């Protein structure tokens, strides 16, 4: 998931409160550079989002975790007037609006945005005239700004998946391939294509991954699927592909063979589901991360990684009812 704002909806009776708290959070992070306030607003928004009852006053909201006097006052103002003076100011502030435009570009964060504004570049249109001020990632982000903001229909990912499977399969049938993220969770559309691969010749005991990822990326370049490269290391490729019309963000990560299923679980998400499952694991005396699952003894020191031959194994270890990917949309 990227830095785009995701309006909170479906079944959240406090969604309008969450939206303005989220907007305040973004402001604190991107403009004011106050990560603590950013976290505070996010925490309050998340409390409100999971609260099943619509709050009628700031006072009532103060019972919730993460909501103090300051946020309670803002809720009261919003309930009373339907808006927030602070937010009106922010929306009218030149620096603030400029930063919000520039950070739409993948690779441009608050820091780079402020630097550009110092040089008088405050809009995307201006930016297009000054590509020389951007690094490679940012140039690609700008070039495909509109495409990258579009959601990808499930059917298109299915087609891209079949190309990836046949191309990588013809390279070497021993590759495991799974497209994770919201696509694996059965969503109708996704923000990007997050592909995990593994190969028996690369395990966690091998320190170097040889040229496995490179060979895969080259193959997908040759067949014309991959059209841009953003970054490329031994185990992670970031770039873009195009099958029809729009250019789409594509990530490919190579994971050690023995850590494949933990990685697939992790990158399938959702974030909230992962959080919940890791908490459950801890309760049952296990620690679970992107790489492995380990028993954690009474001393608190984790043991050796346990053998995992499929995703279900992980659920079984921690005695957690198995959830199909479609059931992980928390």
Partner DNA sequence: ATGTGAG
Partner DNA sequence: ACTCACATA
Nearest distance in Å: CB 182, DNA:
11
- Between 14 and 195, name the residue whose CB sits nearer to DNA: 195
135 interacts with DNA by CB under 7 A? yes
107 interacts with DNA by CB under 7 A? yes
159 interacts with DNA by CB under 7 A? no
- Kindly identify the residues of this chain, within the stretch 191-220, that bind DNA according to CB under 7 A: 192, 194
- Core vs surface per residue 246-285: b (16+ CB within 10 A) or e: ebbbbbbbbbbbbbbbbbbbbbbbbeebbeebbebbeeee
- Between 117 and 306, name the residue whose CB sits nearer to DNA: 117
Residue 193 dihedral angles phi and psi, to the nearest 5°: -120, 110
- Between 71 and 238, name the residue whose CB sits nearer to DNA: 238
Part of the chain binding DNA (CB under 7 A), chosen from 49-57, 71-79, 109-117, 220-228: 109-117
75: left (phi over 0), alpha (psi -120 to 50) or beta: alpha
- Between 63 and 136, name the residue whose CB sits nearer to DNA: 136
- Burial of 60 per CB tally in 10 Å (0-12, 13-18, 19+): middle
Whether 5 is catalytic is no
Residue pair 20/84 in contact by the 8 Å Cβ criterion? yes
Part of the chain binding DNA (CB under 7 A), chosen from 54-62, 129-137, 218-226, 320-328: 129-137
E-strand spans in the chain? 152-153, 176-179, 189-190, 193-198, 226-232, 236-242, 247-254, 286-288, 293-296, 302-305
Quick one: tokens of 190?
């996704």
Nearest distance in Å: CB 284, DNA:
19
Task: Name the catalytic one among 9, 43, 63, 74.
Answer: 74
- Kindly identify the residues of this chain, within the stretch 227-246, that bind DNA according to CB under 7 A: 231-236, 238
Residues touching DNA, count (CB under 7 A): 29
160 interacts with DNA by CB under 7 A? no
d(CA 4, CA 16): 17
Residue pair 252/216 in contact by the 8 Å Cβ criterion? yes
Q: Which member of 74, 112, 248, 328 binds DNA (CB under 7 A)?
A: 112
- Between 111 and 123, name the residue whose CB sits nearer to DNA: 111
**Nearest of 192, 212, 194, 193 to residue 202 by alpha carbon:** 212
For residue 325, give the DSSP letter.
Answer: G
Nearest distance in Å: CB 253, DNA:
8
- Between 78 and 302, name the residue whose CB sits nearer to DNA: 302
| Farthest CA pair distance, the chain | 64
35 interacts with DNA by CB under 7 A? no
d(CA 27, CA 34): 9
Q: Which member of 57, 111, 123, 210 binds DNA (CB under 7 A)?
A: 111
258 interacts with DNA by CB under 7 A? no
For residue 307, give the DSSP letter.
Answer: P
294 interacts with DNA by CB under 7 A? no
| Sheet containing 247-254, strands listed edge to edge, beginning at the edge strand earlier in sequence | 176-179, 193-198, 247-254, 236-242, 226-232
251 interacts with DNA by CB under 7 A? yes
Active site residues: 74
Site residues, DNA (CB under 7 A):
1-3, 103, 105-113, 135-137, 141, 192, 194, 231-236, 238, 249, 251, 290
């Amino acid at each position: 998931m990227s830095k785009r704002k995701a309006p909170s909806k479906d079944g959240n009776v406090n969604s309008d409160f969450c939206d303005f708290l989220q907007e305040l959070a973004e402001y604190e992070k991107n403009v004011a550079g106050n990560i603590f306030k950013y976290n505070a607003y996010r925490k309050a928004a998340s409390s409100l989002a999971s609260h099943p009852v619509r709050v009628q006053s700031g006072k009532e909201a103060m019972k919730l975790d993460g909501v103090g006097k300051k946020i309670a006052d803002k809720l009261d103002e919003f309930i009373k007037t339907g808006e927030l003076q602070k937010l009106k100011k922010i929306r009218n502030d030149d620096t603030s609006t400029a930063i919000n435009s520039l950070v739409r570009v993948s690779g441009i964060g608050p820091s780079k945005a402020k630097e550009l504004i110092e040089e008088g570049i405050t809009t995307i249109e201006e930016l297009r005239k000054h590509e020389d001020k951007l690094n490679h990632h940012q140039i690609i982000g700008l070039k495909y700004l509109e495409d990258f903001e579009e959601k990808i229909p499930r059917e298109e990912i299915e087609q891209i998946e079949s190309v990836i499977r046949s191309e990588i399969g013809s390279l070497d049938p021993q590759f495991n391939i799974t497209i994770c993220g919201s696509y694996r969770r059965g969503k109708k559309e996704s923000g990007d294509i997050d592909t995990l691969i593994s190969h028996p010749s690369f395990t966690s005991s091998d320190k170097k991954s040889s040229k496995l990822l490179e060979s895969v990326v080259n193959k997908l370049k040759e067949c014309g699927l991959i059209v841009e490269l953003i970054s490329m290391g031994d185990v992670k490729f970031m770039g873009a592909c195009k099958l029809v019309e729009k250019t789409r963000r594509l990530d490919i990560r190579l994971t050690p063979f023995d850590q494949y299923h933990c990685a697939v679980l992790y990158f399938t998400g959702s974030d909230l589901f992962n959080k919940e499952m890791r908490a459950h694991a801890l309760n049952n005396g296990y620690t679970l991360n992107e790489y492995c699952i380990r028993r954690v003894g009474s001393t608190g020191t984790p043991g050796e990684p346990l053998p995992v031959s499929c995703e279900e194994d992980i659920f079984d270890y921690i005695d957690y009812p198995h959830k199909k990917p479609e059931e992980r949309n928390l």
